[in-house]
Amino acid sequence: MHFLKNTPIRRKIISIVMIVCTLVLLVAFSVITYTQWHSRHELLRDSLSTLTHVVGINSGASLAFHDPETGQEILAALKSEQQVVTAELFYPDGELFSSYRSEQKKPQHFFCRMINKTVANFMFLIPDGKTDALEEISYESNSLDIKQTIQVDSRVVGSIRLRASLMNLHESFAQQTLLIAGLMAAALIIAFLLASYLQKLISRPVLHLADVMRRISSNEGYALRAKAEGKDELGDLIRGFNEMLDKIQKHKDLLSLAIKGLNIATMEAETAKNAAERANQSKSEFLANISHELRTPMHSILSFSNLGIKKLERVPLTKLEGYFNKINESGSRLMLLLNDLLDLAKLEAGRMEFNFENADLEIILSQCVGEQEASLQERGMVIIVMPPECNTTCIIDPEKIAQVIINFLSNAIKFTPKGKQIYVSIVEDNLPAGRRKDEQGQQPALRLVIRDEGVGIPDNEFDSVFDKFIQSTKTKSGAGGTGLGLAICKEIIEGHHGRIWAENAPNGGAVFSIIIPVNHAGNSA
């Protein structure tokens, strides 16, 4: 009934009445049709079985004395039976004794042939087979065969087989079925007319109430009232609606005064709020993000620790191990957030410390990619690392550089659609020999490039994404984070006397690049 959900009430009532009437008539039509079908075939079968038995008894003597002419005369008497098509007498060994075939009838017109072909498809509803030891009944497309054994003094002298045509039966059955179907169709038409007329008893009050509601909604005329025509449930509904309008009218004036005062206060509060938001937008975004990021792992830690305490003696150790793993994961996430905050504090105070040593940038990159394996499998993504064609050994702080690479990879995975790819490469490059870019001379360096297939970065935000508490307008909605990661990465790379920047790939996606000098000896953080 889902198709009636959005139809008018008049159509709903008429449709329900017609559906019920149609189902009832279909059930009645099926029962009547099947009963007529079955009873007509049983009647024909019984009459033909009796006729076969009588002819068999009369033919017993001719079979016993091997008199085919007498048998032929007995079978010829079946000429008066119009439904009999053929009759045959057989010796006990199955050899034909005598036979009779009725005159060929005129070809039926197309309509009758179509009826016979259609009705013949329902022959499976009529059982066939042996009714007793001496009789066998079978149905074919448009005929009924009855075969009986003929005995004389308990001695089998032969058998008889009669074939009757079912065409007349099928035609009369089809005519009666069409008559019944026509009567039922007429009954449905009468039911439709009555339902169309009587549905007004229900639909008219409902439509009147709906009209009053529309007029009130459009004009706010709370003085309008609906008229209750009866004392039934619909009348009670209309009277309750009118009482509700009375109460609304009483409170409307008081509400109008309150709204005026509230609007004034709201405008003043909105002005103050906008001024405060404009003054503290960056810091407010930071506080909102950090509170969410801190609350999530803390909530997980508290939840799983409470579960462990409550179910300490009732759950297996494997489940407790799962709780502790969840607590450990949330604690690790919380520690990463706190480390970002501590790194920020150190950056602002100028106390960031570096531990430079000789390390292989390719190995560090491989370790960082391996740490992202779970996230990659979850999102169906692949990181393609281009084999470097140069020596990737340099003097760096491995832990800090790994922190930069992990931040880049995490952002690329987070903001790249599922099923896409991330490309990473290490190539040779150069940096100015001095601290300032305009100084003469070059020193060897390594450039690490991470390119994703995500949403990219707006052209006017390539520099601002590295500021504190700032996230790209394309990625910050719903993505989480504090807006500190790239700012910390910038300070780390600058602490290595390198460069860091962002851009968009020609085919879409963001590209983050860093250049760090190969030999950092003599430089201090």
Residue 66: give its domain's CATH number.
3.30.450.20
> Residue 89 and residue 150: Cα distance in Å, rounded?
9
- Say if residue 215 is in the same domain as residue 187: no
- Say if residue 17 is in the same domain as residue 71: yes
Task: Take residue 249 and report the two structure tokens written for it.
Answer: 């009218």
User: Residue 363 falls within a domain, yes or no?
Assistant: yes
Range of the domain at 450: 353-517
- Say if residue 120 is in the same domain as residue 137: yes
> Residue 472 and residue 125: Cα distance in Å, rounded?
75
What CATH number has the domain bearing residue 357? Answer: 3.30.565.10
User: Residue 272 falls within a domain, yes or no?
Assistant: no
**Residues recorded for the chain:** 525
- Using DSSP bridges, classify how beta strands 382-385 and 357-360 pair: parallel, antiparallel or unpaired: unpaired
pLDDT at 428: 93
> Residue 133 and residue 161: Cα distance in Å, rounded?
15
* First and final C-alpha spacing in the chain: 75
pLDDT at 438: 53
Q: For the chain, which residues score pLDDT lower than 70?
A: 1-5, 104-133, 141, 220-224, 275-276, 278-297, 299, 304, 307-308, 310-313, 315, 317, 319-321, 323, 332-333, 336-337, 340-341, 343-351, 434-440, 468-483, 520-525
DSSP 69-80: HHHHHHHHGGGG
**H/E element, 88:** strand 84-90
- Say if residue 261 is in the same domain as residue 293: no
Q: Look at residues 347, 371, 402 and tell me which one is the last residue of a structural domain.
A: 347
- Say if residue 104 is in the same domain as residue 29: yes
> Residue 116 and residue 245: Cα distance in Å, rounded?
69
User: Residue 274 falls within a domain, yes or no?
Assistant: no
- Say if residue 428 is in the same domain as residue 491: yes
pLDDT at 63: 85
pLDDT at 478: 45
The answer to whether 88 touches 96, Cβ cutoff 8 Å, is yes
User: Residue 275 falls within a domain, yes or no?
Assistant: no
User: Residue 179 falls within a domain, yes or no?
Assistant: yes
Q: For the chain, what is the domain count?
A: 4
Q: Look at residues 265, 290, 314 and tell me which one is the last residue of a structural domain.
A: 265
The answer to whether 372 touches 409, Cβ cutoff 8 Å, is yes
Considering only CA atoms, which of 276, 268, 216, 272 is closest in space to residue 242? 216
- Say if residue 156 is in the same domain as residue 240: no
The answer to whether 252 touches 245, Cβ cutoff 8 Å, is no
Considering only CA atoms, which of 146, 185, 188, 182 is closest in space to residue 164? 146
User: Residue 522 falls within a domain, yes or no?
Assistant: no
- Say if residue 312 is in the same domain as residue 407: no
- Say if residue 87 is in the same domain as residue 119: yes
List pLDDT tens digits, range 110-132: 555 565 566 556 555 555 544 55
User: Residue 523 falls within a domain, yes or no?
Assistant: no
Q: Which amino acid is at 51?
A: L
pLDDT at 293: 64
Q: Look at residues 347, 369, 388 and tell me which one is the last residue of a structural domain.
A: 347
pLDDT at 65: 86
- Say if residue 143 is in the same domain as residue 241: no
Structure-token match 């009053």, residue found? 212
User: Residue 396 falls within a domain, yes or no?
Assistant: yes
- Say if residue 16 is in the same domain as residue 81: yes
Q: Which amino acid is at 262?
A: L
- Say if residue 324 is in the same domain as residue 410: no
- Using DSSP bridges, classify how beta strands 382-385 and 421-432 pair: parallel, antiparallel or unpaired: parallel
> Residue 427 and residue 445: Cα distance in Å, rounded?
9
What CATH number has the domain bearing residue 337? Answer: 1.10.287.130
